[in-house]
Structure 1
Amino acid sequence: MRRPLSVHVFLVCQHEQQLQYLILHRKPRPELDLPAFHQGVSGALEHGEQFADAALREVREETGYALDEVWPTGYAHAFAIKPQWRAHYGPGPQQVEEHVFVGDVTGRGNPVLSEEHGAWQWLTLQQALSLLDYGHVRECLLQADQFLSTQRVPTA
């Protein structure tokens, strides 16, 4: 069974003195009642895995970037488990707890996407927010941006 724990990672880079976010376009999954939508990197924790480890693994799997570190923003939220997902979670859990992280990929070139996503873009915060309309993705990005504006994290 899948654990009801998830990560959402927003990758950033400095471009012409401006912070940009990598926004992925997720392919639809009708069997799970998931439309196509824009997001950062996301995924469930595997058994025995901690949130930060899952964030690093998901970044590597979905974008090809092998990072040494991601930073927890301190923001987490929960979303309901849809009936179409029940077979993956079993009868117990009613929601998934998702923690938000950021990672810097400045100077690492373009991502190499997994089969989950069909396209990617580097966007400013405002450009990205205009695309984020599914679930809590917009709030997750706002929290990531707020974290970056108040913390001293190394960026290339």
Structure 2
Amino acid sequence: MSKPYKIPQSVLVVIYTPGQQVLLIRRADGAAHWQSVTGAKDHPDEPFAQTAAREVAEETGIACGPGTPLHAGLSDWGLENVYEIWPAWRHRYAPGITRNTEHVFGLCVPDGTAVTLCPREHTDHRWLPWREAADACFSPSNAEAILLLPQFAAWAR
């Protein structure tokens, strides 16, 4: 059976500490890009917050869904980015789909939070000060979201 097409609705989750150190993870698909947690909805009616919590757990091992101690730290930043899907990745989507809508979240975690990567998706991780993290991202929308961190971190307090 063939794999179903990806839904062109995704999340971007900026994971950060109270001191605004940002977690970046390196892609394992050969591109060696550094990024925040990202991922598509599993089904069209999946709430974005559920997608965000699921992707964070899958990609980093950090549990932040309802009922977990970190759930209160997951915040919807109310931002969406619409961007052109890279041609090399369009085969993952239904024919004719060329744009994705990305919904942005932040997740504040305590210093020292353990990270357990999914080796199929990511090969390494690092914590960087927010400006350095923005500079290290390959995705412009990811870098822009990280640059907004001080504003949203203050708002989330």
TM-score, normalised relative to structure 2: 0.81
Q: CA RMSD in A?
A: 1.8
Q: Deviations over 1:31-60 (max 9, x none)?
A: xxxx22111111111113111100000000
Tell me how far apart the structure 1 counterparts of residues 20 and 90 of structure 2 sit (CA, whole Å): 38
Aligned residue pairs total 144
Q: 1:130 to 1:84 in 2, by over 3 A?
A: closer
The aligned counterpart of 2:132 is 127
Residue 108 (structure 1) shift: 6.1
C-alpha contact (below 8 Å) 2:130/2:149 kept by paired residues: no
Which stretches in structure 2 are left out of the alignment for 5+ residues?
A: 66-70
Aligned partner (choices 62, 65, 71) of residue 59 of structure 2: 62
Q: 1:45 to 1:145 in 2, by over 3 A?
A: farther
Is 1:20 aligned to residue 21 of structure 2? yes
Tell me how far apart the structure 1 counterparts of residues 124 and 54 of structure 2 sit (CA, whole Å): 20
Tell me how far apart the structure 2 counterparts of residues 74 and 143 of structure 1 sit (CA, whole Å): 12
Is 1:37 aligned to residue 42 of structure 2? no
Runs of 4+ aligned structure 1 residues displaced above 4 Å come to none
In percent, how many aligned pairs have the same letter?
A: 33
C-alpha contact (below 8 Å) 1:75/1:143 kept by paired residues: no
The aligned counterpart of 2:99 is 95
Tell me how far apart the structure 2 counterparts of residues 82 and 109 of structure 1 sit (CA, whole Å): 32
Residue 107 (structure 1) shift: 5.1
Is 1:106 aligned to residue 107 of structure 2? no
Paired residue secondary structure (2:20): strand
C-alpha contact (below 8 Å) 1:73/1:144 kept by paired residues: no
Tell me how far apart the structure 1 counterparts of residues 111 and 137 of structure 2 sit (CA, whole Å): 25
Tell me how far apart the structure 2 counterparts of residues 38 and 95 of structure 1 sit (CA, whole Å): 21
